Structure 1
Amino acid sequence: MSVKSLFDLTGRAVLVTGGSKGIGKTVARAFAECGANVCITARHQDELEAAADEIAQGLSVQVEYRVCDMGDRQEVGAMAVDVLQTFGGIDVLVNNAGTNKPQILTETTDEVWDEVLELNFTACMRLARHVVPSMKEKGWGRIIHLSSVMAMASNPGRGLYSGTKAALIGMARAHALELGPYGITVNCICPGPIATDLPMSLLNDEQKKRFAERTAVKRWGETIDMVGPALLLGSDAGAYITGTTILADGGLICRTFD
């Protein structure tokens, strides 16, 4: 098998949640460029339509989109069934959708707790549960959860976010053991500071500067920096990688102290 063929995803079906912008859209385009048929999901149809057009531009692959609130269990289930029928199965699942609503422990509300837990963790399990049977039938599958550097190091007010992202890592390890005999790998990617809408809206200029300075490469990451890990874990090139986490943080947490 040639090196090029290891990354050839021609005919594969890929589902990317939170695919209308940011990491999700960039990763979806990368899978499409490798020959995969792709479906992206998000909550807003106008953003999805624009993203799907951008992903499909210049390519001869099938690009679909589905409006879906990943925090709504009924919508997640219906979307999964629809996409499975459309593609005849899902080969690669990228659980990218997520949210971050900072609250310190004593001010954490049950409403916010339930919302973040559902979207960042429970929905990932539920969607994986839907697509695994089709992967087992084919004897091939890739599940990729987008965790976060915040699963390994945190800050005040980020207990809920860090907790859900750490939970994905533990879940991936267990599911890797369960699904490995069927040719299915399960892994996590932990992005560091990536210049997407979510952190840019939460942080002030001084915080953004401090994050960049703390990385080894002295910059914020771009969404394109997540393509390499995603394609590795989502293709035959990563067939012997499972139950693990790729930390793509620009060297943020290799520093002990200043």
Structure 2
Amino acid sequence: MVAQPHYIREYNRLLRNLRKTSASETETFERAVGGGFKATGATQAKLILGLAPQAPFHLIDVGCGSGRLAYALRNEERVSYTGFDILPDLIGHAEKVCERPDWRFDAIYSLALPIEDDAGDMIVFMSVFTHLKPDEIKTYLSEAVRVLKPGGRIVASYFDADDPQHAKLFPPAPVQYLARILGRDVLRVRLKRKDLETWMRDAGVVVEQALTQGPLTQHVMIARKPSTAEQNGQAQL
């Protein structure tokens, strides 16, 4: 039997533990994405809308969880939305609270995205790379470039290995390991900004900026897939 990936195994443990310690299913699902369901979702949505096209656009939300970002965007008519997560129960909650039957929510169990090439104007990884190993992040970046339209953007949040404020969020390794085994936490990862920039460039996108200040606890890196004209120009070189 093939072992489940760590992120599925550990998030299932976490969800079981949250169900034991929460007053309701709603509280369970909101805690499962780190809390701050409405406030953090609204902050993320403001960032996304500031980077998005003014025309109708297709947003792909990887690690959508129980719908924190989706809920904040639910009244935005110009947003066509696809959300993916590894926990079907969270997906079900997101569908329920968003009340957008025209939006797509799907459970996935690997790092492959079940969506066609050149389908999205923007793909976001909010609090996703914070829980994945380097090779897993690289795989997701390759998938992101595949599903983005030329000129589309990747928006990814991460904990910075060189930020002392982020270091405070990480308990000693033995403590974190025990918490993961007991279902009280999942793998947490800090990344060096230069490494993430390199992985994005290797995947084929242009890094536009890294946001290191602001209302989000994590840093955010923004990259763009070259336009068709840029790709053609590079090919001619």
TM-score (norm 2): 0.49
TM-score (norm 1): 0.45
